Amino acid sequence: MIFVTGGAGFIGSNFILKWLNYSEESILNIDNLSYAANLKNLSAVEKDIRYKFEKVNIQNQQKIEDLFFENKPRAIINFAAESHVDKSIEGPEAFINANILGTFSMLNAALNYYKVISKEEKRSFRFIHVSTDEVFGSLKKEDQSSNEKSAYKPNSPYSASKAASDHLVRAWFHTYGLPTITSNCTNNYGPRQFTEKLIPLMISNAVKGKKLPIYGDGKNIRDWLYVEDHCSAIIKILEKGKVGETYNIGGNSEKNNNEIVSEICKILDSISPREDKTSYLSQIEYVEDRAGHDFRYSLDISKINKELGWFPEQTFSAGLEKTIKWYLDNL
């Protein structure tokens, strides 16, 4: 069995669906069901005998520890996190609790379990911690992409909380010998993402006839990774990743916000045109920039390419069209 925290969220639910299609091994979903979680994401597998769900806050170390000893997992993949930068600016406390204290509790529970399992079980046990490119801070357009040795320079409460959790994971490996691996990924997109994030928000607002708000001048750049590609990378890390290492995961698809929103509008114009036949582009509205808005994130993914043989498969345009069609069917 493997454990997944945050499995009712965007990336976690996509991972569970992919895992159950990929492996016969059972999976336990540990999720507190906060506002962005949705068990409907997993309706297709809720009756699968390999799938179990436990509503638990990852800060509840004793309950998490009990789950370890009851289920005896060989690995845990820690997706659970508060992740919306805007919300972290408005109320950072929830991010400190979930991302730092939650990871601290998970590490302690995992370590207490790891200490008493057999040598053979220890050899295969893994704690996979899923993090973000935002910990490396903002890049200029001409800067080289961040690699696994780049310095951490988090600028938002969200990225600072994730940076702290990454450091805890590293410390539990080096100090206590817990077999951890950390991944840092770029912006994910795809089905089942809560509609506060850029791509699903633009799709939802567009079809509802609402404004499409773009921060500042719309020139901020992110790399975009289709969520299924991210999930396949995590499986590769679980199977082949080296303990104590960090792996960057990206989509090789750097786009600025203007390009993203324009492409969404053009696809919608083609597959779900407005009644008045004018373009969805007319709904774009530029709004005051976000406080401390980082200009660019970019990851060098050559390490995972070379060492684990993982590459993103989905092109951005194809992935975006799939995503838009999913939301049109599910909004």
Nearest to 296 by CA among 144, 105, 127: 144
Q: How far is CA 228 from CA 13, 179, 232, 313, 314, in A?
A: 11, 25, 6, 9, 8
Closest CA to 84 of 168, 17, 169, 9: 9
C-beta of residue 67 within 8 angstroms of C-beta of residue 97? no
Which positions are catalytic?
133-134, 158
* CB-based contacts of 94, cutoff 8 Å, min separation 6: 82, 87, 88
DSSP string, 78-103: E------HHHHHH-THHHIIIIIIHH
Given a contact cutoff of 8 angstroms between Cβ atoms, the answer to whether 158 and 82 are in contact is yes
257-271 vs 316-330: helix crossing angle, rounded to 10: 60
92 alpha carbon, distance to own chain's centre: 19
- Kindly report each contact of residues 94-97 with a partner whose C-beta sits within 8 Å and lies 24 or more positions away, as own/partner: 95/157, 95/158, 95/161, 96/157, 96/161, 97/59
